């Protein structure tokens, strides 16, 4: 699959086959995140990969939109330190978004579906993952082979038309 095909095929997958994800694939996905651009090359992110079913079940309770984590064969917790100021917070969130997308594209290329989730109960998430108190679990990303259909480029994505989104020279 080419990079463009992976971008065009990526979709949120929340219903997974029970097949485990090979460790080498999880490493490759994490490596994609590690290689993402970062403001001032700060790389403030950390990733915790979780494959234990009981821990995944518990993680699925840290936010109402995280229920798919319970049935995922694996998940990444995306961690950031508490920012020093508003500018650092914006940079870190932007950087983590880039890392997340790189990880999702890498997963798609491997035929692995992903879906992200916010984290509401920071205390519980940190305790489950052993994350220090001066860091937050920014997001969770469930991973698994799609239960319904394999990943393939989406011909008609549910997105605003390009001509509505892209402006040339000015708005």
How confident is the model over 78-123, as pLDDT tens digits?
A: 999 999 999 999 999 999 999 999 999 999 999 999 999 999 999 9
pLDDT class of 155 with cuts at 50, 70, 90:
very high
What pTM does this model have?
Answer: 0.95
**What average pLDDT score do residues 48-74 get?**
98
Enter the tokens of residue 147: 């239960």
Q: Where are the domains of the chain?
A: 3-164
pLDDT class of 156 with cuts at 50, 70, 90:
very high
Q: What is the pLDDT of residue 93?
A: 97
End-to-end CA distance of the chain: 35
3-state secondary structure of 138: strand
Model confidence over 1-57: pLDDT tens digits? 899 999 999 999 999 999 999 999 999 999 999 999 999 999 999 999 999 999 999
Rounded Cα distance between 44 and 99, Å, is 11
Q: What is the DSSP letter of 22?
A: P
Domain 3-164 bears CATH identifier 3.40.109.10: yes
């Amino acid at each position: 699959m080419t990079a463009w095909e992976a971008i065009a095929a990526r979709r949120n997958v929340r219903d997974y086959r029970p097949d485990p994800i090979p460790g080498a694939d999880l490493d490759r996905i994490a490596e994609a995140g590690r290689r993402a651009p970062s403001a001032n090359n700060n790389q403030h992110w950390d990733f915790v990969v979780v494959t234990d079913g009981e821990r995944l079940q518990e993680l699925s309770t840290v936010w109402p939109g995280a229920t798919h984590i319970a049935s995922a064969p694996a998940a990444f917790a995306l961690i950031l330190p508490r920012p020093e100021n508003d500018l650092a917070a914006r940079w870190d969130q932007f950087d983590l978004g880039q890392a997340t997308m790189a990880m999702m594209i890498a997963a798609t290329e491997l035929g692995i579906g992903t879906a992200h989730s916010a984290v509401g109960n920071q205390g519980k998430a940190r305790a489950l993952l052993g994350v220090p108190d001066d860091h937050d679990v920014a997001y969770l990303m469930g991973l698994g082979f799609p239960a319904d259909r394999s990943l393939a480029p989406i011909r008609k994505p549910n997105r605003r038309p390009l001509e509505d989104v892209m402006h040339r020279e000015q708005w």
